[in-house]
Structure 1
Amino acid sequence: MPDGTQIGRAVVIGAGVAGLTAARVLADHVETVTVIERDTLPSGPAPRPGVPQAHHVHALLALGAEVLEGHFPELRAELEQAGAPVWDWGERLFAALPGGTPAPLRMGLPIQTFSRPLLEHVLRGRVTELKPVTVMDGLTVTSLRTAGPGRVTGVRVTGDDGEEEIAADLVVDASGRSSHLPRWLVGLGLPSPRATVVDARIGYASRTYTYPEERSRPSWMGLLQPLRAPDFPKGCYAIQIEDNALHVTLHGAGGTRLPRDEDEFLAYARTLRSPIGDTIASLTPASPIRRYARTFNSRTAYHRLPRWPHGLIALGDAVCAFNPAYGQGMTVAALEARLLDRTLRRRGALLDGHGFQRALARVTAFPWLMATVPDRAWERSGTAWAVKSANWFMNRLIDTVPHDPRTYTTFSQLFHMTGSPLALADPRLLSRVLAPSRPGGTLRTPTP
């Protein structure tokens, strides 16, 4: 059996952000790319059933935006033309942290905010324009097509016209949290891959608002009030997006009851320490209240399987899915597409799938820790000493942010994945974080 698979035809399962970015990369290396999507795809920027989280606030971190721009030149400009604002994270974010709110600070971290449907619509338009790419929607992949247990040769699909087989030299599973790959691998005689799940039982309730003509905008472009176990089970995210809209997500951890109607939504917002309650009280609701609770972190250890079929890889949420509260999913998907591109360029359209899964596990390792360390603090069972220590340090770091501009900048760079994790070991940072605790900070109160 050869070490790699020569790729002429590729099939990508899923037309979400991970699938579209993978298809964009593959179009530079193979003859044909077929993207298969279960949903009937909308013609415009609209939510769809396969992405229920699209109704909630999304964040594309600074590194993710940079990587996507490399694959989709002028993406930022196209999104801005569609109404997505660009702003500096340090200057225009109102961060209601447990220890106070940092003063505005220009960081040179440009952020662009938009709805998930707008981003998918723009990416989908770019990908469908590529000559090697065909997007087929309304089809469900039911199984892998194989030539013996060691090689995947395509997929079997079903749709309105019945069943068919689509041949491929490479199948990319980018089907997200609903992936059936573990079951398919067992059917090929491989052991069931180990999955790790960390669930803080966080739920979301979201809606969008528009500004009346006479209403001035808030001084902030984004508002953040994070959760923190065990004392801060309520929080929110709010961002200004396209179409003159404010997108608001209220969230609660540990089973906190979330609002179901308009009165409850406003009442919940007014229990928060941020100005979000006063802000939305004078705005016009532009959507129903949408709730979402499938926010657990999950990581499937494909890289630890003893064998791996040729002609197959998996990426995106199909491998490692994050609590959306940390905004890492789309950025990690972009990084995984970059890894695929670099691997194909290095190997000349030969792909060792098992090696790719091991490299992908290294890409997801630090984002996984950043998401699961705070989420494990909500678990009712005993938490390991190492996790408790890491969570204690991260809390001290965040409590230093409102009082120390350097720490604020360093933490923001880590959050946006533009800074190295090694910055956490910098003696200057450690001296500020581990200094005696300061008195609790006070929230600044911008224009609501």
Structure 2
Amino acid sequence: MTQPTSKTRVVILGGSLAGTLAAAALAPHASEVLILERDRALPETAQPRPRLPQAAHAHMLWSGGADAIEELVPGTTARWLQAGAHRIPIPTGMVSLSPAGWYRRWTETHYLIGASRDLIDWGVRTAVLALPNVRVRAGMTATSLVGTASRVTGVSVRDGDGLESLIDADLVVDATGRSSKILEWLEQIGGPAVEETVVDAGVRYASRRYRAPEGAESAWPVIHIQADPREGRPGQVVTIISIEDGQWHVSLSGTCGGEPSADESLFEEFARGARHPLAAEFLARAEPISDVVLYGRTANRQRRFEKAAMPAGLVVIGDAATSLNPVYGHGMSAAALGAVALRDTAAKTSLTASRFAALAQKAIARPAAAAWLLAVGQDRFYPGAIGKAPNLGDRLAARYVHRLIHTAIGSFLVVKALTDVMTLKKPASVLSHPDVLIAAARGLRKPLLKGPELTEREQRILDREPLIRAEQSQTA
């Protein structure tokens, strides 16, 4: 492990999940880690943050990301669960309609954390800000980089009263998310042009919270009705995830031409119009307890900092480097794995070394690239998608993935490999393992399911009268 030189200061821009995880990664290697946060204060409890609008939507923290967070901040999983989060076994605890049909609910191989984004962030933030050499200056907006094209030496900031000042740093980490101005800042100091790719399927989200029906408050599966890009029509997705306080977090999403509405009366109608009405049937038996919230900043955006001649002393992490369509649930996990890569680089190379930033950026890019391929591999195929059209290689890869999805319905080996990749536990290369290739060639070993596999308890919920009809019968 590298030891910090005297007064080694890391400045992290943004108190986001990516920013606090970066702080946890670098704290053992720096004498001071200073987080600069635009909000006037970070919540001390699991409360919404004004600059995190996507927190109003359902989040999937896959096991790859959750395990990475636990590595960086030990005890976080227990903190989440004690606060009401759920550990949902996968695929056992997922009722999912894939583009090829209903998945079987095989024995547990992975898991995800069911919780609100506010709770997930709080669980990490609480522990990281308790570290003795980590502190936050709230109400601070970074306005530019300080330094040259060869080395960044700090940042220029503006406080809540509009006063400008400079903060010196041995290392600056940009974790300001989708709204990052890093490309503009690099240009100002004569830095390199950075290759940027955008793939935008025009996805819009509509989300609201429901009170779970009695008996469905815990140990409840994720309900996930996926779209099929091959249908040649807008993709519509419905996801129900159990979160804290006996609630379901429900998100609808639709690509260009099939977007959900903010109209509450149309929320469940949209869910019923997806490829199967199962999610809508469950919602008809649950009570909505929040307004419908829309979100539309969902384009996939990849900035290849690892390929550019970046100045020393600057690292970009999280959505500021690679932002992903949230429908695949990889943003938090990719950021966590990027922070692990940052930690591992710091364990081998001093933060003040001229080559540290370049090495770290390349390491951070690897897990982000895997998540990127998963997202754009589908989004490119939706009607009206913006970005490079799929080429022959993309189409062949998509056909192979669909073959795997089809085979996974009747093959535990293939569903395990796909879930390894989906949860970011293993790289996509596992899908080309000889055993997986042979299984794909053989195809289905069990017949397609005619409908979702439901437990007796889940079926009993559906057997109840929908709430509206129940209310009508009581007043008749």
Q: Please give the TM-score of this superposition, normalised by the length of structure 2.
A: 0.87
- CA–CA distance in 2 between the matches of 1:382 and 1:323? 17
Deviates more, 1:103-112 or 1:121-130: 103-112
SS at match of 2:50: coil
Where 1:57 maps in the other structure, the secondary structure is coil
Structure 1 unaligned blocks of 5 or more: none
User: Which amino acid in structure 2 is aligned with residue 48 of structure 1?
Assistant: R
CA distance in 1, matches of 2:338, 2:159: 29
Taking the TM superposition and a 5 Å limit, the aligned residue runs for 1:299-310 are 299-305=302-308, 307-310=309-312
Counterpart position of 2:278 = 275
Structure 2 CA distance for partners of 1:284 and 1:179, relative to 1, 3 Å: same
Q: Work out whether residues 102 and 448 of structure 2, in 8 Å CA contact, stay in contact via their aligned partners in 1.
A: no
1:325 — aligned with what? 327
1:274-423 matched pairs, under 5 angstroms = 274-305=277-308, 307-351=309-353, 352=355, 353-378=357-382, 380=384, 382-423=389-430
Shift of 1:400: 2.0
Match of 2:467 in 1: none
Say yes or no: does 1:266 pair with 2:268: yes
Distance in 1 (alpha carbons) for counterparts of 2:220 and 2:440: 27
Please give the alpha-carbon distance, in whole angstroms, between the structure 2 residues aligned to 1:143 and 1:46: 30
C-alpha RMSD of the superposition: 2.2
How many residue pairs get aligned? The number is 442
- Asked whether 1:442 is paired with 2:445, we answer no
For the structure 1 residues 282 and 226, does the alpha-carbon distance in structure 2 shift closer, same or farther, using more than 3 Å as the test?
A: same
**Structure 2 counterparts to residues 177-256 of structure 1, below 5 A:** 177-211=178-212, 214=214, 216-217=216-217, 220-231=220-231, 233-256=235-258
* Contact 1:113 1:241 (8 Å CA) reproduced: yes
Q: State whether residues 203 and 252 of structure 1, in contact with CA within 8 Å, keep that contact through their aligned partners in structure 2.
A: yes
C-alpha spacing 1:348/1:165, structure 2 compared with 1 (3 Å) = closer
Task: Give the CA deviation at 1:391.
Answer: 1.1
Q: Which residue of 2 aligns with 1:152?
A: 152
- % same residue: 33
Closer, same or farther in 2 for the Cα pair 1:7/1:402, shift >3 Å? farther
> Given residue 365 of structure 2, which amino acid in structure 1 is its aligned partner?
A
| Cα deviation, residue 45, structure 1 | 1.3
Question: Could you state the TM-score of these two structures normalised by the residue count of structure 1?
Answer: 0.93
Check 1:223–1:137 CA distance in 2 against 1; reply closer, same or farther (3 A cut).
same
CA distance in 2 between partners of 1:7 and 1:316 (Å): 26
Paired residue secondary structure (2:206):
strand
Give the Å deviation of 1:208: 0.7
Structure 1 stretch displaced more, 376-385 or 187-196: 376-385
- Distance in structure 1 (CA, Å) of the matches to 2:57 and 2:407: 29
Deviation string 1:54-93 (CA, Å, 9 cap, x unpaired) is: 1111111111111111111111111000000112112111
SS, match of residue 44 in structure 2: coil
AA paired with 1:286? I
Higher mean displacement: 77-86 or 246-255 = 246-255
Question: Structure 1 residues 390 and 144, CA, compared in 2 at 3 Å: closer, same or farther?
Answer: same
For 1:7-156, what aligned pairs fall within 5 Å after superposition?
A: 8-40=8-40, 41-146=42-147, 148-156=148-156
Alpha-carbon shift at residue 284 of structure 1 (Å): 1.8
The secondary structure found in structure 1 opposite 2:101 is: coil
Give the Cα separation in 2 of the matches to 1:23 and 1:216: 37
1:67, 1:121 → 2: CA distance? 16
33-42 or 353-362: bigger deviation:
353-362
Deviation at 1:209, TM superposition (A): 0.7
Q: C-alpha distance in 1, partners of 2:180/2:443?
A: 47
In the alignment, the residues of structure 1 paired with residue 342 and residue 216 of structure 2 have an alpha-carbon distance, to the nearest angstrom, of 45
> SS of the counterpart of 2:74?
coil
Report if the CA contact (8 A) 1:46-1:118 is conserved. Answer: yes
CA distance in 1, matches of 2:256, 2:449: 26
Candidates 433, 438, 456, aligned match of 1:431? 438
Judge conservation of contact 1:202–1:253 (CA < 8 Å) in 2: yes
